[in-house]
């Protein structure tokens, strides 16, 4: 079993549920923090666990360049490499390559692009993107797609959507033939013998949420610091899951056709890609709303690269189950913090002597300990701790926001707002 999705409660178009992956359960709707290079910038993995992150993202394009897929594969895939036992999703590299603009060339076969690091030439095809993602070993991987630029005329949008559909079929074909090569299979996700607290000191009898194994069955040499019942090496029958991506630009008809063709190929989950590429927010919403109508109700729906706190709440209310965005982490690095009282630009002089917590309604370790004055000082002084603390808070705010959304849905609330 690689993936199962259970909708536990629906209210209006929104629904909350549980997505079970080889590396643990995810409560949906879920916001997935972005860990581009196998690190959510500045945040240690144990802090991510504390924050309640159940799934994080890795970017195939970046990891392919550094440290390279083969290195990650040999070290047990991303889970072993970055010592993260919970679920991971990788993108296909399509969007990242799309962002390179001048450095890429698209053909039927795939995309030739130049590294943003050293200008070296590389080639991604649906097959090689699958090969890379299998080597990285995320729980959920994405079909290789072309992200249509905005604006684009209808012919261009159609051609691009059709290319994505053909690439989706090739992605699936390669994946089905090679999915057994995931690095979990080699049991290489566990480091060698370790000293320290034995895993036996944990309470016995805890069951793994995925395959029902007792915690007592987890290898003795597993990382002793992690007290999750999440398995680092999943059960013997589990593999990755490949999601399809709906494209079609800003055209509702093309989006419908893309959805139908992607569903025809058949995937355990469907993403809406090609949005947040410069179009007006109202148009994003319109396309999301109309596309969702054409996606099957029983499978997870993933809206890629979205959004602000207000937007993730809104899209959850429309029936989106999964979202990711660099906004909370990137904004944190620029001193822009999300709070229950609105956005705070912590660099402002008005906070220089503000003894209050960043967000009086937030229970995160940053708001519980530090003052706005201290956070402002760290940012103004270019201290690294500014990025660390700001990122922890912003992620806490996003994850708490989704927790509240799930709670609202579970209570049967049809409408909820930010």
Q: In what order do the strands lie in the sheet with 104-106?
A: 104-106, 111-114, 121-124
Q: Does 226 bind a second copy (CB under 8 A)?
A: yes
- Between strands 111-114 and 104-106, the pairing is antiparallel
Residue number with CB closer to a second copy (44 or 412): 44
Angle at 120 between CA 114 and CA 121, to 5 degrees: 55
Q: Tokens at residue 70, please?
A: 């083969």
Stretch that binds a second copy, among 13-21, 127-135, 230-238, 349-357 (CB under 8 A): 349-357
Q: Does 378 bind a second copy (CB under 8 A)?
A: yes
91 classed as catalytic: yes
Q: Does 374 bind a second copy (CB under 8 A)?
A: yes
Residue in 39, 99, 345, 348 binding a second copy, rule: CB under 8 A: 39
Q: Does 71 bind a second copy (CB under 8 A)?
A: yes
Residue number with CB closer to a second copy (13 or 191): 191
Stretch that binds a second copy, among 96-104, 128-136, 150-158, 187-195 (CB under 8 A): 187-195
Dist CA 322 CA 312 (whole Å): 9
Residue in 360, 404, 411, 412 binding a second copy, rule: CB under 8 A: 360
Residue 41: CB minimum distance to a second copy, A:
6
217 classed as catalytic: no
Alpha helices, H only, 113-153: 126-136
List 139, 251, 321, 324, catalytic entry: 324
Dist CA 385 CA 332 (whole Å): 11
Q: Does 67 bind a second copy (CB under 8 A)?
A: yes
Q: Does 352 bind a second copy (CB under 8 A)?
A: yes
**Cα dihedral sign for 285, 288, 293, 299?**
negative
- Between strands 104-106 and 241-246, the pairing is unpaired
Residues 59 and 90: beta-carbon distance below 8 Å: yes
Q: Does 350 bind a second copy (CB under 8 A)?
A: no
Neighbour-count burial of 264, counting CB atoms closer than 10 A to its CB (0-12 exposed, 13-18 middle, 19+ buried): exposed
Residue number with CB closer to a second copy (196 or 205): 196
Question: What are the distances in angstroms from CA 235 to CA 79, 117, 155, 178?
Answer: 14, 38, 46, 18
Q: Does 41 bind a second copy (CB under 8 A)?
A: yes
Residues 329 and 33: beta-carbon distance below 8 Å: yes
Q: Does 46 bind a second copy (CB under 8 A)?
A: yes
Residue 388: CB minimum distance to a second copy, A:
6
List 91, 145, 251, 321, catalytic entry: 91
Tokens 């209808």 correspond to what residue? 154
Stretch that binds a second copy, among 132-140, 189-197, 239-247, 308-316 (CB under 8 A): 189-197
> What does the binding site for a second copy look like in residue numbers (CB under 8 A)?
37-39, 41-46, 66-67, 71, 74-75, 81-83, 191-192, 194-196, 223-226, 352-353, 355-357, 360-361, 363, 365, 368-371, 373-374, 377-378, 380-381, 383-385, 387-389
């Amino acid at each position: 079993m690689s993936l199962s999705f259970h909708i536990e409660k629906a209210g209006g178009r929104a629904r909350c549920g549980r997505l079970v992956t080889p590396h643990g359960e995810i409560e949906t709707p879920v916001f997935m923090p972005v860990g581009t290079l196998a690190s959510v910038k500045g945040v240690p993995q144990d802090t991510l666990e504390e924050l309640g992150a159940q799934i994080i993202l890795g970017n195939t394009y970046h990891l392919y360049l550094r440290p390279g897929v083969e290195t990650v594969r040999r070290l047990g895939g991303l889970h072993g490499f970055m010592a993260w036992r919970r679920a991971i999703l990788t993108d296909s590299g399509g969007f990242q390559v799309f962002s390179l603009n001048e450095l890429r060339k698209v053909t039927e076969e795939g995309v030739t692009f130049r590294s943003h690091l050293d200008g070296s030439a590389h080639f991604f095809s649906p097959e090689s993107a699958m090969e890379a993602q299998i080597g990285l070993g995320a729980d959920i991987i994405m079909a290789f797609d072309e992200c249509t630029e905005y604006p684009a005329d209808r012919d261009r949008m159609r051609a691009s959507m059709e290319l994505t559909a053909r690439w989706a079929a090739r992605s699936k074909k390669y994946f089905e033939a090679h999915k057994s090569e995931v690095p979990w299979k080699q049991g290489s996700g566990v480091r060698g013998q370790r000293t320290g607290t034995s895993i036996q000191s944990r309470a016995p009898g805890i069951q793994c949420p995925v395959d029902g194994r007792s915690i007592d069955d987890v290898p003795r040499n597993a990382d002793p610091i992690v007290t999750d019942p999440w398995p680092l090496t999943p059960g013997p029958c589990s593999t990755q899951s490949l999601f399809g991506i709906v494209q079609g630009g800003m055209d509702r008809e093309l989006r419908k056709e893309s959805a139908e063709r992607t569903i025809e190929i058949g995937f355990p989950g469907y993403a809406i890609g090609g949005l947040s590429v410069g179009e007006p927010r109202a148009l994003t919403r319109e396309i999301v709303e109309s596309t969702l109508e054409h996606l099957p109700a029983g499978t997870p729906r993933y809206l890629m690269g979205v959004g602000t706190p207000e937007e993730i709440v809104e899209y959850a209310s429309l029936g989106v189950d999964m979202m990711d965005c660099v906004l909370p982490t990137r904004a944190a690095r620029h001193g822009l913090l999300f709070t229950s009282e609105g956005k705070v630009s912590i660099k402002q002089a008005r906070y220089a002597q503000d003894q209050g917590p960043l967000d009086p309604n937030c229970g995160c370790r940053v708001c519980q300990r530090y003052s706005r004055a201290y956070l402002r000082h760290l940012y103004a002084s270019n201290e690294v701790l500014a990025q660390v603390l700001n990122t922890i808070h912003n992620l806490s705010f996003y994850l708490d926001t989704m927790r509240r959304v799930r709670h609202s849905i579970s209570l049967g609330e049809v409408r909820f707002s930010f």
